[in-house]
Structure formats: C-alpha cells, structure tokens
Amino acid sequence: MRPGHGLRKFFDGGRILVDSVLPVDSNPVPPGWTHVTKVDPEEEKRFPLLFPVYLAYTDAISVGGSSDVTDVNTEETFELLNFVQTPTLHEPSDASHVTRKTHEEADFLAIPEVLNGGSDGLVGTLGVGIEYLREDLIPEQIEAELPSWLVALVGDSLAEFLVSWLLEEAVFEAYVIQNPESAAARRGGVSEDDVLNTREAKQRGLAADRHLKSEILYIEYSGMYGGDEAMEILESVAGELSRSQVWYGGGIDSGKKANCMLEAGADAVVVGDIFHRIAEEEASICDQAFDALDSGESVEEIRAWIQDSVEVEGTSAEKFLSTIPSVSNPEEEACEILSATVALSLYLGEELDETVSESEVREVIEEFVRTMGGQWWHKFAEVFPGVESQARRYLENIVLSVPDGSTSDEVPVQHLGWEQLRNSDVD
C-alpha cells in the first residue's frame, strides 16, 4: 500500500459520511437563496441609475456573460457592485476574466461545467482555467506580495498550494443548457442534438451531485422560457440531489414564471435580461419627464405624474421586482424607484448643465438631499454599505461624469444608463 493511502481513504470516507448521512450541509451556497440577478459586464448591458436599490432586493448577484466580456469590463462591473451589500458570484466565461481584483471583490468564484456539451465544456475549459491560474494569475499575485528571494525559494510550491486552495474554495456550476441557439450553447459546444429529455437531464444532474460534487445544478434556457419542459426536469431532480442547489435560468420576466419554476423544484431562479432593460426604459421615461416637469417638482408630484403617465405594471422595473418572492407589491416599489430616478435626473440635469467642480457637485447633492430627501432619501441611503456617506459618494461620482463626459476614478459610469439620461434634452 502506498504511504498515506489508508489515511487518505479514512478521511475520504469521513467526507462521504458527512455529505450523505449526517444532517450537515457542506455546500457553501446558502440554501435560503431563491433569487439571483445575473449582471452582464458587456457594455451594451447597462445598469439602472439607482441599481443599488433594485439589487438590494435580490439574494445574490452573478457576474458574467457570453459575449463581449473582458477582464477590464468585468473589473468595472465589480467596482459598481462595491455600492451594493448583496453577495456576489463571479462566473467567468473565460479564465482570463479572473483577475486579482475580481478574486478579491467576489464572494464566490463560480466555475461553469457544461454537462451536455462537448468535452471542452466539461474538461477542456477547466484545464485551461487551471493552467491560467497556475502559470499566470497565482505567480503574478505571489510576485506582487513576496520579496524576490522568497519567491525563488518557495514560489513553485506555494503556487501549487494556492491553485489547489482556490479550486477547493470555488463553487462549481454544472450546466444543462437547453437552448442550442444561445451564446451560452455556442461557448459550451451544445448543439440541437445535445438537448436533453427529462430522464437524461436527471441522470446528468445525479452525476453532477454525486460524482462531480457540483455545488449548483443550473438548468439553463438562456434567453427563452423553458415552460412545461423545464418544470418537468426540475420536478424530476427535486429531492433527488444530496448536495447540489438547483437553479433555473431563462426567460424569467414575471412573478408567475418565477413562481412556476420555484414550485417545480428550483431552489433559485436566475434573472438577467429584464434587469438590464430597466436602464433603457428609464431613459425613455425621464425623456418624457423632462418635457412635462421641472426640477422644482416634489417627489409626491413626480410620483403622481408617474402614476398618470406611465403604465407601471408591465414596466421592466415592475417585472424585475415581481420575480423576487420577497417583494410583496412590485408595482408600488417600482413606482417609488422610478419616481426617485426621475426626481434625481430632473434635479441634477437642471443644476449641472455646465462644467462644475467637485465642491460644487457636493453642494448640489446636499441641496438635493435637503429638498428631495425625507423618506425616499433614507430608503435609498440605507441599501448602501456605510449608508448615507456611501450613498452621497455614489451620487457625487456619477455626477462628476456629466458635464464634460469625463469618467470618475471610482465609478465606471459607462456601464450606467445615466449616460442615456444625461444625453436627453433638458428644457
């Protein structure tokens, strides 16, 4: 017997006992999560102006995308999410998207495994990722933190340890991709012939749970709603998995669709596109408001205008909020946030129509808090880490980009729908 082999088998047996028999949940993904918002670093996918308020309602934020994602726009996305207290996962579609900065910012590194694609989707991509960690990211971090003489002495051994530790700390997302026309399918090598029936999907899910030890089984329809087919798959795996959390993603844009998937057996639904549509929609609403209102309107008057002029039920804001089980009245919440967005846009658009200094910006923000604050400001401020000071810092930084088109050092505003708002005509 090889040295240490018996001891290793003993500890492996203990781990299996914990996972299979004892009432201990070894999965680091919280079982209470029912709603995950997926945000895409692609620059065409904008954030709403008051995105911290929207994202305060969701249980977790997954950062990743399949098209036009780079290490730079991924880092910029995490910079924005510093203004949010909600836990974040980084789900890279390419190993190079994992940087020292994203690793520090994300609460979880989620590594995708495609169960119904080509071998590259399961083994090849992981191999590329491990190679990147071992040969690029980890050595770079070691060289940045340690003196050169110590790197020469223990660098290789330390790199091996850190790669193993990082993979041990990561969560693995086992994907069943059911929309062969999606960008995710193209990246994962999933063709029409690879789409699974209910029994096949269940079998892959069991393999992910028992053999791969995946923390998440992700039933992914990517851009389309899975309907009855997806619900049958969820029903087939619900209660059969001992470790994996079951997530569903694809076409969730209403409370009814979200509830159907949760009731069918999903632990959480993943919502993405409808969140990004809020930014485009609020730009149109603010454009109408600039024609109908002035910056002196009170929040109550703006709310009344929203109720009279905008069909709040059916807006992207209302649809997004309706997918979150904890939001009891999504129409009312959407009306409040849209009213605050209009109020902020009107006020800042009127007050900042010329180039101003940082001190002048702070004066404008303070005036806004005094005149338009009250109940809304406290609700807005309380979602930020650090509360009011952080909320003011967020507003100051995005506003500093408005007059001359420059960007803040702290807030990458090019990812915000604010860019569209500030280009609207303000009378």
pLDDT for 111 beyond 50:
yes
Cα 209 from Cα 176, distance rounded (Å)? 13
Q: What is the pLDDT of residue 5?
A: 46
Q: What is the pLDDT of residue 413?
A: 59
Cα 204 from Cα 207, distance rounded (Å)? 5
pLDDT band at 84 (very low <50, low <70, confident <90, very high): confident
Residue 196 is encoded by which pair of tokens? 């699974």
Tens-digit pLDDT profile for residues 233-272: 999 998 899 999 999 999 999 999 999 999 999 999 999 8
Fold of 27-274: TIM Barrel (3.20.20)
Domain(s) labelled CATH 3.20.20.390 in the chain stretch across 27-274
pLDDT for 305 beyond 90:
yes
> Which residue did the predictor score with more confidence, 321 or 50?
321
Q: What is the pLDDT of residue 359?
A: 74
> Which residue did the predictor score with more confidence, 170 or 394?
170
Instruction: Name the percent of the chain lying above pLDDT 90.
Output: 40
pTM of the model: 0.85
Tens-digit pLDDT profile for residues 14-34: 555 555 555 556 889 999 999
Contact 217, 241 (CB under 8 A): yes
pLDDT band at 132 (very low <50, low <70, confident <90, very high): confident
Q: What is the pLDDT of residue 411?
A: 58
Helix axes 388-399, 358-372, angle to 10 degrees: 120
Q: Region 397-415: what's the mean pLDDT?
A: 55
DSSP 232-283: HHHHHHTTT-SS-EEEEESS--SHHHHHHHHHHT-SEEEE-HHHHHHHHHHH
Cβ neighbourhood burial of 405 (10 Å; 0-12, 13-18, 19+) = exposed
Residue 152 is encoded by which pair of tokens? 């020469």
Q: Is 218 helix (H, G, I), strand (E, B) or coil?
A: strand
Tens-digit pLDDT profile for residues 354-400: 556 667 767 767 776 666 555 566 666 666 655 567 677 777 776 66
Q: Cα(first)–Cα(last) distance of the chain, in Å?
A: 83
Instruction: Name the percent of the chain lying above pLDDT 70.
Output: 76
Tens-digit pLDDT profile for residues 195-243: 999 999 999 999 999 998 999 999 999 889 999 999 999 999 988 999 9
> Which residue did the predictor score with more confidence, 345 or 372?
345
- The count of residues in the chain is 427
Look-up of token digits 């390419």:
94
Q: Which of 404, 408, 377 is nearest to 392 (CA)?
A: 377
